[in-house]
Structures are given as structure tokens and as C-alpha cells.
């Protein structure tokens, strides 16, 4: 197992579009294990492969406080959605920034699990928000891109100042 480095916004690699996984093999299962360890140690409730610079359609999510309910989504698709919610989101690639994003309230997602078996899952609440947030990463989209240009400019100014301080 390994803790992988997480790309930080505005790294251009966060905008790459992930390719579908042709076959769920041992290399994908190793990636899933490393992503899970990386997510738990961050700590975060979800992680997309894009964030660890692997541009394949792989997501891990665990919203349980006990870290024992790992969900793996390979090649996820939203096949139905309803309603609207705006929950405050954060992102391991944009540390310290939290803001509300307009999302579907309920989704049905179809994906492959770590064994390559297809499944469907209905989700609402934080799980639904998290799946939508991670699927955006796979499309090269970071949640701050939904915010107003003014807010995004302020975030970038703060990040650049932190980077200068860090040398």
C-alpha cells in the first residue's frame, strides 16, 4: 500500500479527462487500495484517480466515520437524477476552501466494482454529492470552477500567496 501525492489546484493535470477502464485487473485493484489509503490518511470522504495523477475512471468513497464502508466506482455513469441540493463542499485538491455547489439531490449511478462486476446504487445526501464531485474530477472539473469569477480569483490569490510563503 502507498500514500500517493494529491495534485493541488490550479495544477493543469487536474483538468485532464480520465479514460474508461478497459479491464478491472490487479493493477486497477492496486490503484484502488492506494487511493483508499490516501483518502483515509488525508483524511477525506472521496478521491478520484485524477487527483493522484492517474487519468482513469476510478473513484473511491467512504463517508462512514469508522472508515469501514469503502465504495469503489470504475467507469461510473449517472443514469438517473432528481431534485436539487446545495451542500457545502471541500476538496483535497483545494485545501481550506469550502463552498456550496448546486447538485442533484438524488442520483442512480451505474459502475463496475473492484472485481469488475457491474452494479447500480441509489444515493442521496452527502453520498450523492460526493459521487457527483468525484465524477467531475474524472471530467477534469474542480468544484471551485462552479464558483463566481470573483470567488475563484480570491482563492487563486490566496493559493499564490501561500505558494510564495512556502518558497
C-alpha cell at 78: 449517472
Q: Does 47 bind ligand GNR (CB under 6 A)?
A: yes
The one catalytic residue in 88, 134, 145, 163 is 134
Q: CB under 5 to 8 A by kind: which of Ni ion, ligand GNR, none does 90 bind?
A: ligand GNR
> How far is residue 76's CA from residue 136's CA, in Å, rounded to a whole number?
11
3-state SS class at 83? coil
By a kind-dependent CB cut-off of 5 to 8 A, residue 38 interacts, out of Ni ion, ligand GNR, none, with: none
Q: From the CB of 44, what's the least distance to Ni ion, in Å?
A: 8
Interface with ligand GNR (CB under 6 A), residue from 89, 104, 131, 159: 89
Cell numbers standing for residue 70 = 469503502
Would you count residue 130 as binding ligand GNR (CB under 6 A)? yes
Q: Is 142 in the site for ligand GNR (CB under 6 A)?
A: no
CB-facing half-sphere around the CA of 21: CA atoms within 13 A: 29
Q: With CB under 6 A as the contact rule, which of the stretches 67-75, 115-123, 132-140, 145-153 interacts with ligand GNR?
A: 132-140
- Sign, Cα dihedral of 127, 16, 91, 99: negative
Q: How far apart are CA 34 and CA 3, in angstroms?
A: 6
144 binds Ni ion (CB under 5 A): no
163 an active-site residue?
no
Q: In the block, which residue shows the cell 499564490?
A: 160
x/- track of binding to Ni ion for residues 77-106 (CB under 5 A): --------------x---------------
Contacts of residue 104, defined as CB under 8 A and 6 or more positions apart, other chains included, come to 78, 81, 82, 83, 84, 85, 128, 132
Q: Which residue has the cell 478521491?
A: 47
With CB under 6 A, what is the number of residues at the site for ligand GNR? 16
Residues with catalytic roles:
134
Amino acid at each position: 500500500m502507498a500514500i500517493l501525492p494529491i495534485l493541488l489546484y490550479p495544477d493543469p493535470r487536474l483538468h485532464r479527462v480520465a479514460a474508461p477502464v478497459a479491464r478491472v485487473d490487479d493493477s486497477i485493484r492496486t490503484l484502488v487500495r492506494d487511493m483508499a489509503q490516501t483518502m483515509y490518511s488525508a483524511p477525506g470522504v472521496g478521491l478520484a484517480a485524477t487527483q493522484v495523477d492517474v487519468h482513469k475512471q476510478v473513484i473511491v468513497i467512504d463517508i462512514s466515520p469508522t472508515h469501514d464502508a469503502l465504495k469503489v466506482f470504475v467507469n461510473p455513469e449517472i443514469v438517473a437524477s432528481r431534485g436539487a441540493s446545495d451542500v457545502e463542499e471541500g476538496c483535497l485538491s483545494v485545501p481550506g476552501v469550502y463552498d456550496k455547489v448546486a447538485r442533484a439531490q438524488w442520483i442512480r449511478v451505474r459502475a463496475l466494482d473492484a472485481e469488475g462486476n457491474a452494479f447500480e446504487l441509489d444515493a442521496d445526501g452527502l453520498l450523492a454529492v460526493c459521487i457527483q464531485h468525484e465524477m467531475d474530477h474524472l471530467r477534469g472539473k474542480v468544484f471551485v470552477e462552479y464558483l463566481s469569477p470573483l470567488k475563484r480569483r480570491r482563492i487563486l490569490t490566496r493559493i499564490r500567496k501561500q505558494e510564495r510563503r512556502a518558497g
